[in-house]
């Protein structure tokens, strides 16, 4: 552990300014003053020294995060804001263009609009679907006395599967010609969509994929449901309420903080939707320079931004997209927080 | 729709009642319906895994047909996957990335979480809120300038851009560790402090041994995150096939190498296996981690 010895050594050096060392009275012929007889000034000084020492320690403990925050968060944020007002191709220096990038986004870029439409599809349909599914499965799990841990494992495990592997597995499942899903639909004589190969069906197929990996949401809902006090259920049962009224008047208010949490994180994740769409789009088009296939139906915001930034080397333009995304994320989060007081019930408050 | 509509439970003790037969029958029926639904759903959830395994052991010809049951079983596919693509290299790269990044995260986050939970200092709360805020920050906002920096340093194509930042704290891991450190009673550290231990000694000798489950959970989450990570390798190692991780390589097989679906599924299976094994080995750490994320009102 060589860095720890370095840590302690540099604390002892940094916490002792010269002036302070000089201020400590030199031992006299009578010997060092006894601690009980220390004057008030001395006590104050030693307290100050202790405080300095403490802040030195805190600084050293916090140092990894401070460096990381400055280098990998604060500077890049400011730099990308600056880039967003420039034309920048990584080779030449950034050229100031003012609001040009932002104007171009809204006026001359049809793919930008398409990317927003596609992303909104996931936000508006995917997030509520995941939350409803999570609550539904979690409710069923609370009622199951036996086998609950088996079910929980089965529903949770897919969330751990690597996204690339999941995307490819669903390509096999939803293969229009040979996939088991269409085999089943064919046997039932329902239509056989082309799924990932049809621009109208590619996003619904992604929603199904999203449900398969919704286990995380389900787990936190399960924990929340198990935390609802039993008396509340007993009380409303005595009042003669049916399951629907119980659900509306007890369950939903009691788990509303978790619903809130799931919606906020779901929206943030949906706005950044990337990997599955990238992998599936590549596999569908059999090439890597065209993102969001088929026909741009899987071109999500983060994909278009990536395409602009790296293969396209339009760093300034992509930075403008990044900041727009950041602002939208903040506004969405703020709106959710502001409205939350109307529908989120926190136990222990407002009773 | 607030809970004010719910009356507090009555104070009178209810006599223990035995439900009449028709109520009991109804309850039994409800349980059966519930279990039927759950079993159906569990089957649907297991189906993709089953299809993955079945496809992985099909012959090349059969992988192009709708026939689902492999005949004959080509278990050899799992071996030939290693010959057809450089699977061993990709596994090694992924492991290096995940392992070093996890080491960096744990080493850097433990002291930060300690300072944010076990030492009292002015500005601690503000700093903690700042840490929380960076969790919410979309990575899109920072990746362009970071790419610029790393390409100026000549790091693009290597693992450095993926690994080095993890040695400087990860907000989410700091948050999880802090939550756990706060639950350790103050008396535990007071005793050590009276004995003259400094903060570093207290952290290493008292807090870290007690926080092993939380540290394990953080390490596990971080390892899995890197194992799955696609965007990082896409940005920084895509240019250099020698440094491809499994996630990135897997995404390239279909597009450029036209690898058959059976091999694709075999590789996907090999990719998933360590994750599943880790889950069953470290279930306790998982539960610990999920509990830590649990938001308290």
Record the tokens describing residue B73, joined without a space.
């079983």
Please report whether residue B4 resides in a domain. no
The string of pLDDT tens digits covering residues B80-109 is: 888 888 899 999 999 999 999 999 999 999
Please report whether residue B243 resides in a domain. yes
B135 touches A: beta carbon within 8 Å:
no
Average pLDDT over residues A32-56: 79
The string of pLDDT tens digits covering residues A240-283 is: 888 888 888 888 888 888 898 899 889 999 999 999 999 998 88
Q: Name the 3-class secondary structure at B293.
A: helix
Contact between chains at A90 and B151 (C-beta distance less than 8 A): yes
Peptide bond into A110 cis (omega under 30): no
Same domain, B126 and B54: no
Contact between chains at B247 and A140 (C-beta distance less than 8 A): no
**pLDDT above 70: residue A20:** no
Average pLDDT over residues B114-138: 92
In the prediction, which pLDDT does A287 show? 67
Using alpha carbons, select from A72, A279, A337, A104 the residue that is nearest to residue B134.
A72
User: How many of the other CB atoms lie within 10 Å of CB of B220?
Assistant: 19
Helix or strand (DSSP H, E) at B49: helix B21-56
Closest CA of chain B from A282, distance in Å: 6
Percent of chain B with pLDDT over 70: 89
Number of domains forming the structure of chain B: 2
Residue entry with tokens 């104007």: A103
The string of pLDDT tens digits covering residues A66-116 is: 999 999 999 999 999 999 999 999 888 999 999 999 999 999 988 999 999
Please report whether residue B297 resides in a domain. no
Same domain, B56 and B141: no
**pLDDT above 80: residue A286:** no
Same domain, B134 and B182: yes
**In the structure, what pLDDT confidence band is assigned to residue A25 with cuts at 50, 70 and 90?**
very low
Mean pLDDT of chain B: 87
Average pLDDT over residues B154-164: 95
> Cβ distance A202 to A116 under 8 Å?
no
**In the structure, what pLDDT confidence band is assigned to residue B11 with cuts at 50, 70 and 90?**
low
Same domain, B93 and B146: yes
Fold exhibited by the domain A109-343: MetI-like fold (1.10.3720)
A245 touches B: beta carbon within 8 Å:
no
Please report whether residue B181 resides in a domain. yes
Q: What residues of A are in contact with residue B265 (Cβ under 8 Å)?
A: 168-169, 172
Q: Of B258, B274, B290, which residue is a domain's last? A: B258
B134 touches A: beta carbon within 8 Å:
yes
Contact between chains at B268 and A76 (C-beta distance less than 8 A): no
Please report whether residue B286 resides in a domain. no
The string of pLDDT tens digits covering residues A292-344 is: 778 888 999 999 999 999 888 999 999 999 999 999 999 988 888 888 777 77
Task: Tell the burial category of B189 from Cβ atoms under 10 Å away from its Cβ (0-12, 13-18, 19+).
Answer: buried
Which residue from B minimizes the CA distance to A165?
B268
Contact between chains at B174 and A65 (C-beta distance less than 8 A): yes
What is the domain extent for residue B160? Answer: 86-258
User: How many of the other CB atoms lie within 10 Å of CB of A281?
Assistant: 26
Record the tokens describing residue B95, joined without a space.
């492991």
Q: Of B61, B78, B95, which residue is a domain's last? A: B78
**In the structure, what pLDDT confidence band is assigned to residue A27 with cuts at 50, 70 and 90?**
very low
In the prediction, which pLDDT does A2 show? 38
**pLDDT above 60: residue B247:** yes
In the prediction, which pLDDT does B293 show? 61
Same domain, B54 and B196: no
Contact between chains at A162 and B258 (C-beta distance less than 8 A): no
Which residue from A minimizes the CA distance to B118?
A58
Q: Which of residues 46-75 of A touch B (CB under 8 A)?
A: 54-55, 57-58, 60-62, 64-65, 67-69, 71-73, 75
More confident residue, B150 or A40: B150
Same domain, B70 and B208: no
Please report whether residue B180 resides in a domain. yes
- What DSSP string runs through A184-220? HHHHTT-----GGGSTTTHHHHHHHHHHHT-HHHHHH
A178 touches B: beta carbon within 8 Å:
yes
In the prediction, which pLDDT does A288 show? 62
Residues in CB range of B193: below 8 A, 6 or more apart: B202
Q: Per-domain residue ranges for chain A?
A: 109-343
The string of pLDDT tens digits covering residues B196-215 is: 888 999 999 999 999 988 89
Please report whether residue B292 resides in a domain. no
Please report whether residue B217 resides in a domain. yes
């Amino acid at each position: 552990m060589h860095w720890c010895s370095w840590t302690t050594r540099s604390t002892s050096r940094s916490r002792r300014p010269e002036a302070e060392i000089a201020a400590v009275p030199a031992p006299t012929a009578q010997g060092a003053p006894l601690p009980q007889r220390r004057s008030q000034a001395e006590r104050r000084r030693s307290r100050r020294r202790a405080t300095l020492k403490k802040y030195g320690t805190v600084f050293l403990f916090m140092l990894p995060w401070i460096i990381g925050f400055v280098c990998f968060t604060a500077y890049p944020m400011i730099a990308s804001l600056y880039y967003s007002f420039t034309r920048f191709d990584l080779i030449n220096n950034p050229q100031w263009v003012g609001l040009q990038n932002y104007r171009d986004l809204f006026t001359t870029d049809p793919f930008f609009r398409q990317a927003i439409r596609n992303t909104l599809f996931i936000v508006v349909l995917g997030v509520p679907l995941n939350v409803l599914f999570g609550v539904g499965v979690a409710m069923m799990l609370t009622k199951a006395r036996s086998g609950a841990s088996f079910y929980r494992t089965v529903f949770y495990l897919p969330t751990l599967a690597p996204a690339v592997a999941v995307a490819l597995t669903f390509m096999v499942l939803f293969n229009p010609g040979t996939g088991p899903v269409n085999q089943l639909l064919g046997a039932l004589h329902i239509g056989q969509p082309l799924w990932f190969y049809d621009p109208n069906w590619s996003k619904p197929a992604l929603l199904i994929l999203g449900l398969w990996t919704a286990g995380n949401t389900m787990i936190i809902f399960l924990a929340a449901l198990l935390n609802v006090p039993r008396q509340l259920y007993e009380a409303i049962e005595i009042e003669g309420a049916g399951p629907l009224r119980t659900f509306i008047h007890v369950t939903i208010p009691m788990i509303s903080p978790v619903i809130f949490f799931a919606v906020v994180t779901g929206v943030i994740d949906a706005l950044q939707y990337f990997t599955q769409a990238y992998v599936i789009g590549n596999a569908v088009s059999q090439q890597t320079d065209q993102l969001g296939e088929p026909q741009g139906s899987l071109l999500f915001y983060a994909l278009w931004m990536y395409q602009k930034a790296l293969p396209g080397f339009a760093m300034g333009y992509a930075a403008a997209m990044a900041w727009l995304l950041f602002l939208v994320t903040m506004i969405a989060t703020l709106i959710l927080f502001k409205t939350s007081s109307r529908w989120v019930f926190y136990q222990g408050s407002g009773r | 729709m607030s809970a004010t509509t719910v009356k507090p439970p009555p104070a009178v003790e209810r006599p223990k009642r035995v439900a009449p037969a028709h109520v009991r029958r109804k309850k039994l029926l409800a349980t059966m319906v519930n279990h039927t639904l759950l079993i159906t759903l569990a089957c649907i959830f297991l189906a993709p895994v089953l299809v993955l395994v079945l496809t992985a052991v099909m012959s090349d010809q059969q992988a192009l047909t709708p026939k689902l049951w492999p005949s004959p079983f080509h278990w050899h596919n799992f071996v030939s996957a290693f010959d057809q693509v450089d699977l061993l290299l990709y596994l090694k790269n992924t492991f290096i990335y995940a392992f070093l990044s996890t080491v960096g995260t744990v080493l850097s986050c433990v002291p930060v979480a300690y300072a944010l939970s076990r030492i009292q200092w002015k500005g601690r709360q503000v700093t903690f809120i700042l840490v929380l805020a960076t969790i919410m920050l979309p990575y899109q906002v920072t990746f362009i300038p970071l790419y610029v920096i790393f390409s100026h340093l000549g790091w693009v194509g290597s693992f450095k851009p993926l690994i080095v930042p993890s040695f400087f704290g990860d907000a989410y891991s700091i948050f999880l560790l802090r939550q756990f450190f706060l639950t350790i009673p103050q008396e535990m550290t007071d005793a050590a402090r009276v004995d003259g231990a400094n903060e570093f000694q207290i952290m290493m000798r008292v807090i870290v041994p007690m926080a092993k489950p939380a540290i394990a959970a953080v390490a596990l989450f971080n390892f899995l995150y890197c194992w799955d990570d696609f965007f990082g390798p896409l940005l920084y190692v895509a240019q250099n096939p020698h440094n491809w991780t499994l996630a990135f390589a897997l995404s390239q097989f279909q597009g450029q190498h036209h690898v058959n679906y059976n091999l694709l599924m075999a590789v996907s299976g090999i990719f998933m296996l360590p994750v599943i094994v880790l889950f069953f080995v470290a279930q306790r750490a998982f539960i610990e981690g999920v509990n830590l994320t649990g938001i308290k009102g």
